[in-house]
Every structure is written in structure tokens, then in C-alpha cells.
Amino acid sequence: MSDKTHRIIEAVAASVDIPETAYDKAEARYKDLGEWFGRPEAECYGFAPHIYPQGSFRLGTVVRGEEYDLDFGCRLCKGIYKSTHTQKQLKALVGGDMEAYRQARRIESALKEKPRCWRLQYQEDGSFKFHMDGVPSIPMDDPHRQLLAEAMIKYGTADFLAQSVAKHAGSITDNSRPNYDTVSPDWRISNSEGYALWFESRMKLAMPLLEKRAFEARAAKVDDLPARKWKSPLQNCVQALKCHRDVMFADNPDGKPISVIITTLAAIAYRGEQDVGTAMQNILATMGNFVNQQRPHVPNPVNPAEDFADKWYDPKYAHLHLDQNFNWWLQQAQEDFAKIGQSRDADFIAEQVREKFASTIDARNLSDKLGLGAAAILTTPKSHTIVEAPAKPWMR
């Protein structure tokens, strides 16, 4: 991998990142909400509420978009059990405090109930338009956590990591389940905090680089920095891949590969490469190989029995051709990143970034920075073969 190619892909990844101020605003919202739930007057106060970020903001893999989804978990850590409360009761309890918060903060849009969460729709804050999805949950009991850890170890996760991840597992509400309003031991499992720890373990394969980042930020160690400030090659690659996906499926958003599949496969394929260009080349070359031919096609690494690709074979979504769309997207990503990496024409690279990522880079600055005069090399991956697809089949 040439240094020029690395810098080109790095520039592409940087162009789709969101400004640090956006992360700061998101963090302020989480903290404000956490303080609200922590008031003695809150309905949830006596149940030891724990508010924590999850999703792409937690992982540091957000990409530029028209609206941002700030996912957070609201776990009530004591006093509520599957044997004493229904999912509906838990959700109503959390919803009560979120509605009070909405009124106190004068958020005009009504609190909206989604199958697993409550949504707060904020007014546009300058160029930062966003909503917050809060998922109510309770801790998973110890016997089931142990079973989950054993399943991860069997799947190939290191014993220490599996035990650490399993501690964060919980049971969430879901009003689409038949037992939603009855007392039942059958709740949906979720472990977003555990997934974040797993993802961070993949980023830490580039520990020398992360330690350099921590030193530059004057942090005593890597874990003292929020994950978004690690700026690891894995995070950069996931951001660039998600943005490429968004543009490719702009006219068919329901048919696009979901972010957690791209994030998971990229993390599994990552091998600790120290630069973005090499990481991207290797991820694109191998991530398709980690899609199982049998179910589960894309197991959740922190709950291997869960299939992130379950909609691929659900008859309700057959018309979306989700499995084919993933393959077509991967093939297109391989071709597009190869084309950009091979080019020595800064204007062409800038044009491709506008077309494929709906983002901008300064062609003149890129040319001066790279001294573009010799072709960079990023060959099209060959280890994952996909059948040739018709023109834009994903736009059905």
C-alpha cells in the first residue's frame, strides 16, 4: 500500500466525518438526560436508572447526514424483574420521565413510541438536526449472562472479553412481541454496551497508534479517551463505507445494508492495520467472507444466537432483496475505492468523492499534500467473488 493511497483514502474518510461540535452537543444531551433521570423527583429514580449512549455515537462512527440518531439506553438496575413487571409497565415508567423531560425542555414534537424505544424529536439546532431514541431495559440475571459468555467463547471470543461483555447484557422492551403486556421470562436480549466493548477490542489491535492518539490528547491511557477521539483506521473505514452505502441507496433506503452489518463485518475483517488505506483494502477484500452461508448469516458477536441479517430471509422483506443488495453494494464499494486509490488526478478524486460520498475535498490541497505525480495502487480485491450485477439493481 503506497503512502499516497493511504492519504487519499484517509482524506475520503475525513470528509464524511461529523464535526467535533456535533459530538459535543450529543454528549451534552446525554448528560442532561442522565441528570434528569437521576433527580429524586423522577419516577425512575428509585430503580437506579443508568443512562448510556449506544450506536454510532458511542462507537465514533457517525457520518454526515440530514438528521442524526442519538441512541441511548435507559437501564433500571434494581427493583424491576421479569417476574414482577411486564415490558409494557417498564416502558411506560421510562416514558413518563421522558415526557416530563420533553415538557421541561420545551421540546415541541410529541414523544413518539417506537417498538423498542421512545423517540424525542429535537428542533433543528443550527445545522445539527437530530432525535434521541431511548431504549428501556433491565439487567440480565447472572445465570443467563453466564450462558451468554459461554456462547461467545464457543464462537471464538477470548474468555476475559466474553465475561466482561456479558456483564452488560440486558433485557429490553419490544411492543411487537406477543408477551409484551404479560409477565413473562421471554424478553428480547440486548447488549449495546457489550457490543461497544467488543468493537473497541477490535480497534485496539492498532494499540501503538491509539497510544499515540492518547499521548497527543494528553490522556494517561487510551481508555481515558472517549472512543470517538481514538480516530482509529477501523472507525474511519466504517464511516467511509456507511457513507458510500447511503449515497448508493439514496433512492432505496429500505433496501440498503444496515449499519450494524457493515460495522460488524468490517470489525471482524480488521487486522490492526496502522493506516486507513491498507485497512480499507483488506476490509473490502475479506469482509464478505465472514457472511455465513448458513443461518445465522451475520451473528451478533456479543450474542451469537442473534442474526443481524435475519431480515434477509424473512418473507416480509423478500421484496427488498436485502442479501443481493449487500453483495451488490460490496462489489460497488470495491470498485469505487479501487478507482479512487489508483487515480493520480486530484480533480478526478474530488469528483468521485462528490459523486460516491456526497462530500467534498479540496482538489488543490489534496494535490499539493500528496504531490500527485505517480499512480497510487489500490487493486480491486479478488478474494471475495460476487456475480456480476445488472445496472443499479438496488434501485428497484
User: Mean pLDDT across the stretch 66-76?
Assistant: 91
Model pLDDT, residue 251: 96
Cα 84 to Cα 74: distance, rounded to the nearest angstrom: 19
b (16+ CB within 10 A) / e for 365-391: ebbeebebeeebebeebeebeeeeeee
pLDDT per residue as tens digits for the range 43-53 = 999 999 999 99
Could you tell me if 322 and 257 are in contact, meaning their C-beta atoms sit under 8 angstroms apart? yes
Residue 138: which domain range? 3-395
Confidence (pLDDT) at 4: 67
392 pLDDT above the threshold of 80: no
Q: How large a percentage of the chain has pLDDT more than 70?
A: 90
Residue 301 has pLDDT above 60, yes or no: yes
Residue 375 has pLDDT above 90, yes or no: no
Look at residues 178, 191, 149 and name the one whose alpha carbon lies nearest to residue 308. 191
Question: What is the count of structural domains for the chain?
Answer: 1
Q: Residue 137 CB: number of other CB atoms within 10 A?
A: 29
pLDDT (0 to 100) of residue 124? 67
pLDDT, one tens digit per residue, over 235-270 is 999 999 999 999 999 999 999 999 999 999 999 999
Q: Are 43 and 97 in contact (CB under 8 A)?
A: yes
**For residues 227 and 355, which has the higher predicted lDDT (pLDDT)?**
355
Q: What's the one-letter identity of residue 370?
A: L
Task: List, for residues 116-159, the tens digit of each pLDDT value.
Answer: 999 999 876 666 788 999 999 999 999 999 999 999 999 999 99
DSSP 298-354: SEETTEEEEETTGGGG-GGGGGG-HHHHHHHHHHHHHHHHHHHHH---HHHHHHHHH
* Contact assessment for residue 161 and residue 108, using Cβ atoms and an 8 Å cutoff: no
Q: Identify the pLDDT of residue 14.
A: 81
CA distance 63 to 244: 10
Nearest 5°: phi and psi at 363?
A: -60, -40
Mean pLDDT of the chain: 89
Q: Please give the pLDDT value at position 386.
A: 38
What is residue 35's predicted lDDT score, i.e. its pLDDT?
96
pTM score: 0.90
Residue 325 is predicted with a pLDDT of 98
Q: Which value, to the nearest 10 degrees, does the dihedral of the CA atoms of residues 77, 97, 128, 191 take?
A: 20
Q: Residue 346 has what pLDDT?
A: 86
| Residue 298 to residue 210: CA distance in whole angstroms | 28
pLDDT of residue 128: 76
